[in-house]
Amino acid sequence: MSANTERHPADDHVVLGKLTSPYGVKGWLKVYSYTSPMEGILDYDEWVLRHQGGLVRYRLAQGRPHGKGLVARLEGVDGREPAEALVGAEILLPKAELPELDGDDEFYWYQLEGLKVVTLEGETLGRVDYLFETGANDVMVVKGRSEDAIDDRERLLPFLPGEVVRDVDLEAGVMTVDWDPEF
């Protein structure tokens, strides 16, 4: 069977991408990938789709680069109409299935989201809300709306380990940064 309903909580998964629109009439879909490299999403044989409040598992039948993006066909999705029904679905992967990282200084973005951000001087800037890529480096959006933050500002900090990011303690839930709160 190509699709199985999942009952795992959504926080057991990480979002790898989303299905954006049908491609052709044979059930193919355009895929927006959050993985780096973009084609990495095609390395997973099974995708969990979060769509319309539920989680459904599909086997990836085929996938390939197309133009500046990707297209994929899922088992059991055999026409344009079934493909249209999946538009907007997020592509998830159980966190337990993520590949091991090489070193202690490597992190998945989902691990950094929610960490308390503290300066070298001990001032709390807030919490990491999310990260995004730029041409030069990844950027963290730190929101100061937590109870112990020095203010309620939103700050954009470059994710530069060793320079800006001095320490990440996942167990304590704290990231220490070399950053001027006035900047």
Q: What is the pLDDT of residues 59-75, one digit of tens each?
A: 999 999 999 999 999 99
One domain for residues 87 and 10:
yes
The residue out of 96, 127, 147 marking a domain boundary is 96
> Same structural domain for residues 89 and 23?
yes
Same domain? 91 vs 116: no
Residue with tokens 């990480």: 14
Instruction: With beta carbons less than 8 A apart as the criterion, state whether 128 and 113 touch.
Output: yes
Q: Is 166 a residue whose pLDDT tops 60?
A: yes
* 80: phi then psi, degrees, rounded to nearest 5: -65, -40
Structural domain harbouring 122: 109-177
Q: Specify whether 46 is located in the same domain as 23.
A: yes
**Which of 96, 128, 163 delimits the end of a domain?**
96
CA pair distance 139, 26, nearest whole angstrom: 39
**Under a CB-based contact definition with an 8 Å cutoff, are residues 46 and 88 in contact?**
no
Structural domain contains residue 103: no
170 found inside a domain: yes
Verify that 130 and 165 share a domain, yes or no. yes
> Both 120 and 163 in a single domain?
yes
Summarised one tens digit per residue, pLDDT across range 99-133 is: 888 877 788 888 999 999 999 999 999 999 998 88
* R_g of the chain computed on alpha carbons: 19
Q: How does residue 6 score in pLDDT terms, banded at 50, 70 and 90?
A: very low
Residues 82 and 117 in one domain: no
91 and 122 assigned to the same domain: no
Is 21 in the same domain as 80? Answer: yes
Q: Is 166 exposed, middle or buried (0-12, 13-18, 19+ CB in 10 A)?
A: middle
Q: Is the pLDDT of residue 45 over 90?
A: yes
For residues 45 and 125, membership in a common domain is answered with no
Indicate whether 87 and 132 sit together in one domain.
no
Structure tokens at 164: 């800006």
Domain count, the chain: 2
User: Across all residues in the chain, what is the average pLDDT?
Assistant: 90
Is 74 a member of any domain?
Answer: yes
Beta strands in 36-96 (DSSP E): 46-51, 54-66, 69-74, 90-94
* Residue at which a domain ends, from 60, 75, 96: 96
Q: What tokens does 77 get?
A: 């999705």
